[in-house]
Structure 1
Amino acid sequence: MTQLKCFILDDFPSQFKVLEIMIKNHEDLQLIGTSSSPADFLKEVDNGLHIDLLFLDIEMPGISGLDVADLMKGKTIVIFTTGYREYAFEAFSLNVADYLLKPIRQERFNEAVEKVKKLICGDQVSVLKQIITIPGKHKGSFIKIKLGDIFYIKSDGNYMTLVLNNKNYIFISSLEKLLEQFSSKHFIRVHRSYLINTNKVSSIQGNLIYMENGNKIPIGRTYRLSVLPKIISSFH
């Protein structure tokens, strides 16, 4: 794989050094420029600047990072680097590759870069093809289900309702045990009673998650701040 050409856009130049060090730790990345001015950056793009990956701050004077990401759709892959969780909802709609919260940890940065590399290489998420087994209606019986076919799981005490596109299964377990069994990259808890497959999310409106089968899942108040960045992180 050839090196990915990267650019950092952040109105605080002090942030450049942090990302520069992290980028240098990846032989697949090449930093070709930095800017603290969204307007100047967009002029460079208009003049022919080509980049593969943009590390983009959100709160900037004049033109926000959200506006820049919207303008860069189809031109480059964007990773948001911000100190604010509350923009995760808007970021979700822009289909960015990841949402890194400052201060950025090297480990978290590495995860985002690996995701971008898989996107560019067209690598499909194989974990969703894995088969799990759940208890059947009769004692000693089991049902095989592909992880990728699950939309969400609803908890009612010890009774779990596993929802597929056209069929539901009820069995005894707990969301805690299921979350341990499933990939936390694709299955996240959004409410004390709901565990969802982020790949089946259609949209988010207010405190509701709309699934591709039309069902609406509430976002628990204590989960909201962590849910949106996780959905964005898993969306690709």
Structure 2
Amino acid sequence: MLSDSLDRIFIRPLTAAQLLLTAVTLTLASSFYCLIYTTLAGRGEPLVDGIVWAGLNIVPWLICFEIAKRSGSWFSQFGIVLVFAVGMSLLDHLMSGSNVMFELTRRLPGAAVIAGMLALSWILRRFVSERAADKKLVSTDELPLLIDQIGWVVAAGNYVELHGSGAPILHRMSISAMERLLSAHDFIRIHRSVLVRRQNIKDLTGNILTLNNGQTFKIGNRYRLALQ
């Protein structure tokens, strides 16, 4: 339905590890770009200056997008963008004594890019929902898949990922609400962020659970007793 990269960037929230890796990658890439640019311009600057610049001007926008992506309404999303723009401007003002309005104006292109990415995220979500409906995967008003098509469920912020035989489908529902919905259909919670179909469990060794298809999960301690 969507490539995994598009799905991960614009719809599903990044994990903490993925967010950290992305932030480090963007920082290093921006730093080397600044180093090359200033060197070619005849005024080479230390690499550390580029790292500080990226840390103040790029990484905050990445964090802003991830926080806004988890929000449920346009109003709150753009409110988050505004808060970040103002906050970054005030920080620059405090650090360098520059004019706040000048710094805020300088943040407008970045804010516009984030707003555009959020708009694209909304469009892609609509696209995914419409494609699911076109393929007649909708069985009720609550789920975009037939219950028999779901193998396991993973929490993703304000959404859950429904995993079956095809690509994961994102659905706006908390993992707790999904647990209540699926508990009568042989699904059991094995972690604060994972539900599995009990009949699909193949093996339980230590704190590692294996499904019939080879998928493995780490079991949360609080859910072990119910599983046994």
Q: Which category of TM-score, normalised to the shorter sequence, fits these structures?
A: 0.3 to 0.5
- The structure with the largest strand share of the pair is 1
Q: TM-score by structure 1 length? A: 0.36
Q: Which is higher, the Rg of structure 1 or of structure 2? A: 2
Q: TM-score by structure 2 length? A: 0.37
